[in-house]
Amino acid sequence: MAAIIKPGMYRHYKGGMFRVLTVAKHEETEEEFVVYHVQSLGFEQGIGQYWVRPLAVFAEEVEYKGKLLPRYKYISS
């Protein structure tokens, strides 16, 4: 079953804040990508930039400091 990602604010497991705008499909492969906007820094990427990440990677869980956490956690709409 594919992950359901809804628009809104998400927090990265290391602390950055991101606004998810939509999920888009690649024209040739039909792979789904999350389109998001950087709201606050937690990384080298600049505030105000737009990024895409494969939906499967956006929705996965990662091990961090001995705990299994969502890579991006939904915060609010």
- In terms of Cβ atoms closer than 10 Å to its own Cβ (0-12, 13-18, 19+), residue 59 is middle
Report whether CATH 2.40.360.20 matches the domain 8-76: no
* C-beta of residue 10 within 8 angstroms of C-beta of residue 17: yes
Query: In this predicted structure, what is the pLDDT of residue 12?
Result: 92
H-run or E-run covering 8: strand 8-12
Q: What is the pLDDT of residues 30-50, one digit of tens each?
A: 999 999 998 876 655 678 889
In sequence order, which ranges of 1-77 are alpha helices (DSSP H)? 55-58
Alpha-carbon distance of 58 to 46, in angstroms, equals 19
Query: In this predicted structure, what is the pLDDT of residue 7?
Result: 96
* Overall average pLDDT of the 16-25 stretch: 94
Structural domain boundaries in the chain = 8-76
pTM of the model: 0.84
